[in-house]
Amino acid sequence: MILGCLAAAGVVFAAEKPFLRIDGAYLAYSYDFNQIYGENVRFRFAGYDVSGNRLRIDLASQSFRLSGAVRMIEPDRVLEGDELFFVPHDESGVLVAYGEIISRMPIGEADIQALLNLRPNTEDISPSRIAGSLFYFSGRRMDITPSYDLYGRDVTLFIEGLESIGLTRFRLSEGIRQVENGFVLERLRYNRGRGLNARAGYIYRSGDKFRSLSSLDYEERALFRGIGGLPRQADIRTDNTLFLGRNLDLDLSAQYNTSGLFSSSLSMSRSGGGDNRFRAGIAHNRPINRPAETWLETSVLAVRPKGGRLEFFGGYEARNQVAARLDYGLPLRENLNFRLGSTYAALRGGRTGALSRIFTGNLDLVWSARIFDLSSHYFLNSDLVGRSLLSQPQLRIGLRPVSLYDGWLSLRLDNIFIYNRMRLGEDWSTAYSNNTMLYLSARPAAIGNGFSFGWDLALEEFLEKQGRNFFSGGLILRAEQKLGPRVALEGLYRYRTRRLSQGWLIEGTSGQDLSAVFRVRPADPFGGWMSLSYDPAAGRLRQSFADVSVGLVKNWRFHSQMNWDFLLNKLNNIDLYLIREAGRFQVRFMWRSISRQILVELVPR
Amino acid sequence: MLGSACISLKIPAVFPGGDRVDRMVICASVAFDKGLYEPRDITSDFRLRDGRVVCHVRLNDVGRELRLRWRWYDPGGRLFRDTGDLLVNVEERFLSVLTATDILELTEDWDDGAIGRWTVVFTVDDVRVESLDFRIGRD
């Protein structure tokens, strides 16, 4: 399956001309890390025939570095140096020589500092790193295209260090985003649960004038037994942008799904420098089981250093539907912020298609001081058809965490007061509530002989007009005993209580649990933890969880997670993983006891 | 009597043998681990009070005598320390791994010219070159 994915990634029907052809005594490309390492290489760059001892390329960051006995030859001169940092696509570079001083000679229109700043990206590229890859290719010639695709000629594929197949010409890198022009079969997969899934894309770009990306997703289930759902499904999508001038674009996009969904939009956008922009367009959507909609839309974003940030969206639909949104934010002072927002929506919904008209508004004023935040909010929701109205002012005071006793103790206090005034028809009602929360936390303190102790306390008081008041509290005690450099035993005791008071009636609940965790901090080759929880009130064990990780050979790792239920006296679940870390992706072989399935996953990272 | 000789060869697709720098790092110290000195506290940021900067190099498949050399350049790009050539493996034994370190001693009374980006350059037989940047700050 893995080979299938790699092969699928490699199928390209229209290739670009390479802008860097590298010949070397030895070249290797790591698929895991998207990096190239080469020895005794030569290539043509910026009009020079370049040769050198050791080449390192990080394709993801587009960092190129040639080290050792670097020679750059053109018909009438020869340049020599110790290292060349270069960017092939704009033919710029810097040739560095280490003598009594460091001399740096620019090649082309080079930004020397920017080129030298790319140096860290190539520092970890080494023969052992490449050879430790799950997939790597070796050969004597490689081509890099302007979209940073990599093609190898007469390359050999190595899987986990073992020589695999030889390939005459092969696309080594992958990715629809990297391709400048052409058709790409991006994915071809079979999954027992979903059947066959293919994704293909076509990219066309004409200089700075036009860009188009179209894709097709296809799922086939009818040909395979035991797979539910639609027999097959296709999703076609196209996004096209015509660059009409500086800061002026015309966008056309459409999407069609064989289930019947269709949407399309045509819009023009103009950016006015910085974040300022204007957009206007028309959109047509055809959802399932609902009437089609055609919207005329416009949006404006205006940002002024002193005038604040204004954002507006307005839309009108052919069946008299309207949607509008306005947001305005203004920093009044360094620590005082003002924000005003409003929406209006006249939308049709339900089976009858009746029109609802809702107006909402909010007004916020936030003051941030050194030790507390004070904010006032006002929210209004008015149903203009149903004649209901909610008016809700809110006041929040929050004490920023205060450190006491040299940071050992941390204190935080929040208070929220909300006043609601509601109208339903001709009836008015009011409600109010106040919520106060206090958090007190003590950092673990070392007591001696590897023993440390800390605690957290949280209290909350809720009062409201209707009298459904409550008080709740929670206490957590944490202790840790170190048993070795990586081994520790942790204990955790939690107690929580909640008291409801309504008039003379007080009722409440409380709960507590005690748990212990035996932890081995991850390091080669072993890491993991096991927990045991105990109910002190009932006097019995509850659950046990375990998470174990063991390093195997190379970058392979065995991982297991399990859960034992003492109440039912059975193993609830056990998951077993065999994981291969491979740079930009991870290969996982999994067995899950609940689903009783073996799964293989390629997880991008 | 007439005769002929014929030679054929195949270029290996695996990594070619030979002494090569596998890894070079800047670190605060080294520790003896499983028979080799290995880098500890790998970083590229130092303070004058740290006392020293260590450049650690690991070479693989060394089968002959090598000349190793470190050159340290200050933020002005001037050569500050040059170890000269250090001969290793003069017995020309085959060594699967060879590690080597050089140390730049720091003192807190250095002037502001020492504050900034430094470069350390490592060469093998004057030909194979590795370089790394690191920063030295005052506090």
| Structural domains of chain B, with CATH | 21-137 (2.60.40.1930)
Confidence of residue B16 (pLDDT cuts 50, 70, 90): low
pTM: 0.61
Q: Which candidate in B11, B15, B71, B98 is best for mutational testing of the A interface (most A CBs within 10 A)?
A: B15
Pairs of CB atoms within 8 A across A/B: 71
Chain B contacts of A53, Cβ < 8 Å? 127-129
pLDDT at A175: 39
Residue A101 at interface with chain B, using a CB cutoff of 8 Å: yes
Long-range contacts of A567-570 (CB under 8 A, 24+ apart): A567/A540, A567/A542
Strand partners, A153: A141, A169
Q: List strand residue ranges (DSSP E) for A305-371, in order.
A: 308-317, 322-333, 336-349, 354-368
Averaged pLDDT of chain B? 86
* Interchain CB contact of B83 with A (< 8 Å): no
Q: Is the per-residue pLDDT at B14 higher than 70?
A: no
B60 and chain A: CB distance < 8 Å anywhere? yes
Q: Is A6 helix (H, G, I), strand (E, B) or coil?
A: helix
Residue A495 contacts by C-beta under 8 Å, 6 or more apart in sequence?
A474, A475, A510, A511, A512
d(CA A73, CA A96): 16
Contacts of B129 in chain A (CB under 8 A): 53, 67-69, 82-83, 98
A99 — contact with chain B (CB < 8 Å)?
A: yes
Residue B2 pLDDT: 53
In this predicted structure, what is the pLDDT of residue A8?
37
Contact call for residues A564 and A543 (beta carbons, < 8 A): yes
Specify the pLDDT at position A563. 94
- Distance, in Å, from the CA atom of A254 to the CA atom of A213, rounded to the nearest integer, reads 11
- What is the rounded average pLDDT of the residues B2-19? 61
How far is the alpha carbon of A54 from chain B, nearest alpha carbon, in Å? 8
Q: Give the Cβ contact number of residue A4 at 10 Å.
A: 11
Mean pLDDT, range A234-249, rounded to an integer: 91
With CB atoms and an 8 Å threshold, state whether B129 touches A100: no
Q: Has residue B83 got a pLDDT over 90? A: yes
Cβ-based neighbours of A416, under 8 Å, separated by 6 or more: A394, A395, A396, A434, A435
Percent of chain A with pLDDT over 90: 45
B14 in contact with A at a CB cutoff of 8 Å? yes
CA A549 to chain centre: 25
pLDDT at A9: 39
Beta-sheet pairing, B128-137 with B45-47: parallel
- Dihedral over Cα of A561, A565, A569, A570: its sign: negative
The two structure tokens encoding residue A594: 């609940």
Tell me the one-letter amino acid at A491.
G
- ipTM for the predicted complex comes to 0.87
Q: Over 70: is that where the pLDDT of B1 sits?
A: no
Contacts of B57 (CB under 8 A, 6+ apart): B21, B23, B24, B68, B99, B100, B101, B122, B130
pLDDT band at B11 (very low <50, low <70, confident <90, very high): low
Q: Is A83 on the interface with B (CB under 8 A)?
A: yes
DSSP secondary structure letters along B98-114 = EEEEEEEE--TT--GGG
pLDDT-based confidence at A157, cuts 50/70/90? confident
Residue A228 CB-half CA count within 13 A: 0
Per-residue pLDDT, A350: 74
Express each pLDDT in A102-154 by its tens digit: 999 999 888 888 888 888 888 889 888 888 888 888 888 999 887 787 888 88
Q: Does B13 touch chain A (CB under 8 A)?
A: yes
With 70 as the cut, is the pLDDT of residue A178 above it? Answer: no
- pLDDT higher than 90, residue A180: no
pLDDT of residue A385: 78
Query: pLDDT tens-digit profile of B20-73?
Result: 788 899 999 999 888 889 999 999 999 999 999 999 999 988 888 999 999 999
pLDDT in tens, A181-230: 677 766 666 666 677 888 888 888 887 788 899 999 998 887 777 777 77
Interface subset of A 444-483, CB within 8 angstroms of B: none
Provide the pLDDT for residue A89: 84
Which of B67, B131, B132 is the best substitution to test chain A (most A C-beta atoms within 10 A)? B131
Q: Which of A123, A127, A156 sits opposite B20 (nearest CB)?
A: A127
B127 and A53 in contact by Cβ < 8 A?
Answer: yes
| Residue A494 pLDDT > 90 | yes
pLDDT at position A454 over 80 = yes
| Range B115-138 average pLDDT | 90
Chain segment B20-35, per-residue pLDDT in tens: 788 899 999 999 888 8
Distance CA A332, CA B40 (A): 51
Selecting from B15, B77, B128 the residue whose C-beta is nearest the C-beta of A131 gives: B15
**Which structure tokens are listed for A275?**
């974040």
Query: Taking phi first (over 0 means left), then psi (-120 to 50 degrees means alpha), and beta for anything else, what does residue A510 get?
Result: beta
pLDDT band at A503 (very low <50, low <70, confident <90, very high): low
DSSP state of A9: H
- What is the per-residue pLDDT for A501? 76
How confident is the model at residue A110, as a pLDDT?
Answer: 82
What was the pLDDT predicted at A354? 83
What is the average per-residue pLDDT within A267-290?
Answer: 89
